[in-house]
Chains A and B, each alone.
Chain A
């Protein structure tokens, strides 16, 4: 096998892996503020992609459709928070696990009924022509994924570090009760985190759809890998999910090339099992040490 094919496979896979990273980042956002995650996040990705497709079919331009889709995703995130998470958290129960799964199933059925079961192409003005870059061919679509993922993650990180609201977000994640004593409403901060997480899921859907097509089951494989990335990287490092996401993407692309496409899902699952056995807090995760 020659090196350029390996390089080509690794780069395409790594770029796809950024989508897993973005969805995993969405898990981190809500975990930070509320120690909860939306187990129906894949359905948010899918429903937002369908909604964006509808906007496109209605004649809206791509650059109008993207913010529209993100806004829709944010709204879905808020719905999940209100219907599935808030009450459970107030009662300090783990009910959000089941509730977010159920809300996801509901979104899934709704999507099947509204948009049908078929996979559909997702039009985009970004061409699929390859550009030659450092010895490998990269399509503009793949580059758009990289720009979109790193762009939104960069923006959210800037927001968290440079604005007072973002710092409040970090404060709630560090110590919810102390944050409340500063006049920061933890409930609103959790809402904000679910809104952001929903927008991030929508962007993942919009970026990946031109490559995978849109259908009710489009996110079911992706979401499993996003979970793997989140668990392997840990739930607090944005940098970690990017790195692990790209690594996993490259690994699965190489294994499907060398071992056959049936082995595509294997590396993610092996990585997941290894991580849980060896380092349950994640490679980039912090073990929580509390001084009393």
Chain B
């Protein structure tokens, strides 16, 4: 569903990604783990179009999307819940969710009725958001903002969802909740690429994982394979 082939990208003259290659098959949950600065978030941004890759290919459902505008890639079915959550602070929770479905809703009237089923689904997944539909998103707690960011991405009914550091800066209890949510998304068959600093927790839920080092994939495999790999154990699971 998502294929990244030999991707190079960076900021100005410094290349952060130096030939990243990975694949996310339909309906699978794949993790991208690695140390800070290895290029995980840069990979996500280069896939979703926030950063234009200088070389390589990104294929979404077989279609090459590298170099397109982020908004175009989103319209083609990629939802990216970015690092730092990036909810629209001044807008209400419900408006944030509706905007998640922007690509497939009417622009002027009747958009809420058309999105109602998806709204209900997100509220069902995150009952806390339902109590706060008209509250400004910026006033939510960090955990709630993360739920909102995930919910907003779900609203798009994406072919592939990118989830960047959903547990960053959250209390341990909330981190557990985030992981429970990720498991539920997996059960629903959503195709998901997850960037996570808690490698151990991530390996407990994913189908497959890539370990990034200095801008490229160093090791890859199923969680079982990786947890036998001495290098991975030493660096991330120790």
CB <8 Å contact, B107 and A165 = yes
In the complex formed, the residue of A with least CB distance to B100 is: A182
Residues of chain A within 8 A (CB-CB) of B152 are 182
Q: Is B121 an interface position by the 8 A CB rule?
A: no
| Also in contact, A184 and B71, with CB within 8 A (given A164-B108, A168-B102) | yes
| Also in contact, A164 and B105, with CB within 8 A (given A181-B82, A183-B156) | yes
Residues 70-88 of chain B: 1 if any A CB is under 8 Å from the residue's CB, otherwise 0?
1110110001101000111
Residues of chain A within 8 A (CB-CB) of B72 are 183, 185
CB <8 Å contact, A164 and B82 = no
CB <8 Å contact, B88 and A185 = no
CA distance A167 to B107 in the complex (A): 9
Q: Is B6 an interface position by the 8 A CB rule?
A: no
CA distance A186 to B71 in the complex (A): 8
CA distance A64 to B63 in the complex (A): 48
CB <8 Å contact, B107 and A163 = yes
Q: Is B49 an interface position by the 8 A CB rule?
A: yes
Give residues of chain B (52-105) contacting chain A, Cβ–Cβ below 8 Å.
69-72, 74-75, 79-80, 82, 86-91, 95, 98-100, 102-103, 105
Residues of chain B within 8 A (CB-CB) of A170 are 88, 90-91, 95
CB <8 Å contact, A163 and B109 = yes
CB <8 Å contact, B80 and A164 = no
User: Which of B49, B88, B109 is the one whose CB lies under 8 Å from A178?
Assistant: B88
Q: Is A175 an interface position by the 8 A CB rule?
A: yes
CB <8 Å contact, A180 and B89 = no
CA distance A178 to B99 in the complex (A): 10
| Also in contact, A180 and B108, with CB within 8 A (given A164-B98, A168-B102, A171-B88) | no
CA distance A183 to B72 in the complex (A): 6
CB <8 Å contact, A183 and B71 = yes
The range of chain A's interface size is 20 to 34
CA distance A170 to B22 in the complex (A): 35
| Also in contact, A180 and B99, with CB within 8 A (given A171-B88, A171-B91) | no
CB <8 Å contact, B50 and A177 = yes
User: Which of B49, B99, B108, B109 is the one whose CB lies under 8 Å from A171?
Assistant: B99
Residues of chain A within 8 A (CB-CB) of B75 are 183
Residues of chain A within 8 A (CB-CB) of B221 are none
CB <8 Å contact, A167 and B95 = yes
Residues of chain B within 8 A (CB-CB) of A163 are 107-109, 111
Q: How far is the CB of B89 from chain A (nearest CB, A)?
A: 6
Residues 150-193 of chain A: 1 if any B CB is under 8 Å from the residue's CB, otherwise 0?
00000000000001110110110011011111111111000000
Residues of chain A within 8 A (CB-CB) of B105 are 164
Q: How far is the CB of B81 from chain A (nearest CB, A)?
A: 8
CB <8 Å contact, A175 and B86 = yes
Q: Is B106 an interface position by the 8 A CB rule?
A: yes
User: Which of A164, A174, A175, A185 is the one whose CB lies under 8 Å from B71?
Assistant: A185
CB <8 Å contact, A167 and B91 = yes
With A174-B88, A179-B71, A181-B50 known, 5 other A-B pairs at CB within 8 A are A163-B108, A177-B50, A178-B87, A181-B70, A182-B102
The interface of chain B, by Cβ under 8 A from chain A, is 48-50, 69-72, 74-75, 79-80, 82, 86-91, 95, 98-100, 102-103, 105-109, 111, 152, 156
9 residue pairs from A and B, CB less than 8 Å apart? A167-B98, A168-B99, A170-B91, A170-B95, A171-B91, A178-B86, A179-B71, A181-B74, A186-B71
Closest 4 pairs (CB-CB, A-B): A183-B103, A183-B74, A180-B70, A178-B86
